[in-house]
Homo-oligomer: A and B are copies of this chain.
């Protein structure tokens, strides 16, 4: 059996025991609180892992882009939420085709998006389920006021090709609950109650019972966890399943080591230090160029030598998955499986 030391570096790996435990733990929480768990596949982009999440009890999946949904529909998923405005003729034609492959729910935050979705549903000759994207705390997309939500819900409800299902928000932590409630109350008062209330976010996940309006949560990062998750106190180092094996390729000074993974391997996402080296917890990755990770080893009692291999927990798991073609599933130090990251690079 292939040993992890046999893998060329940088090598993207997942500790299967830790990942399985992460999947079990959140599913048990959701089951205990009767909240549906809809894993967001953006974190791993691997259908085989989503099948593990489904077998554990997940209800459907979320795919951020149509291109990801196409891959996962082809891999057997039949309940896919796209929490993203689908806009433009090329995408709407793809959406119509995809409606023949699986059950889709799509989010919208404007009448322009609604009109396009209606066109796609007419093309597909079947109704399309639509939810309204509400603006959450991060002020990204989403309708801004309860009045806008009501107007949009009515526009969906009165469009014969569409079926109004409810709402989504991101993130759905307890701090965002008052804003969510204002939206839901307005919709209920207009006789447009939300049957589906989809929340999300790894930080919010274990607080979902504090927002009882939620019928489901979309959560991605929990499957792997990452150094951002640890930094925010949402998990422990021991619960981080994704690691990148790197090689020390240079030791220019006593206090500096260069590893063969930089932003092309890890992305530039997140704060300093950029990830965490398991073998050298005192080391700090203080900068990355595309192919170089700069490591401050001044606080390490023993210093890593050229040729030594180290395992790095990345700052942000999701973009790392998008940068690699395969992920090695490790059982201890053995390679149990090699998964192609089938939905990598689906920017459209």
Contacts and interface: CB of A to CB of B under 8 A. Distances in A.
Interface of A: 6-11, 42, 64-65, 84-85, 87-88, 90-91, 94, 109-110, 112-113, 116, 135, 139-144, 247-253, 256, 258, 260-261, 263-265, 267-269, 289-292, 294, 305-307, 309, 318-319, 322-325, 344-345, 347-348
Given A306-B113, A347-B324, A88 B250 contact: no
27 contacts: A8-B94, A9-B348, A10-B347, A11-B348, A42-B290, A84-B249, A84-B291, A85-B250, A87-B247, A87-B306, A110-B251, A116-B307, A139-B256, A140-B292, A140-B294, A141-B250, A144-B252, A144-B253, A263-B319, A265-B347, A268-B268, A290-B318, A290-B322, A322-B323, A323-B323, A325-B345, A345-B345
A141 B88 contact: no
A-B interface, 4 closest residue pairs, ranked by CB to CB distance from nearest: A141-B250, A8-B90, A112-B306, A85-B249
A270 to B, nearest CB: 8
Contact of A264 (B112, B264, B319): B319
A248 B42 CA distance: 21
Given A250-B110, A322-B264, A307 B347 contact: no
Given A9-B348, A85-B306, A139-B252, 12 more contacts: A64-B290, A84-B249, A87-B247, A139-B256, A141-B252, A142-B250, A144-B252, A261-B347, A265-B347, A268-B319, A290-B319, A290-B322
A307 B87 contact: yes
B348 A323 contact: no
Nearest to A91: B8
A110 B290 contact: no
B64 A291 contact: yes
A10 B348 contact: yes
Contact of A258 (B10, B11, B140, B305): B140
A253 B145 CA distance: 10
A163 B313 CA distance: 39
A113, A249, A319 — which one has the most chain B CB atoms within 10 A of its CB? A249
Contacts of A10: 347-348
A8 B307 contact: no
A109 B249 CA distance: 9
A205 B269 CA distance: 29
B141 A292 contact: yes
A319 B291 CA distance: 11
A118 to B, nearest CB: 14
A70 to B, nearest CB: 12
Contacts of A305: 112
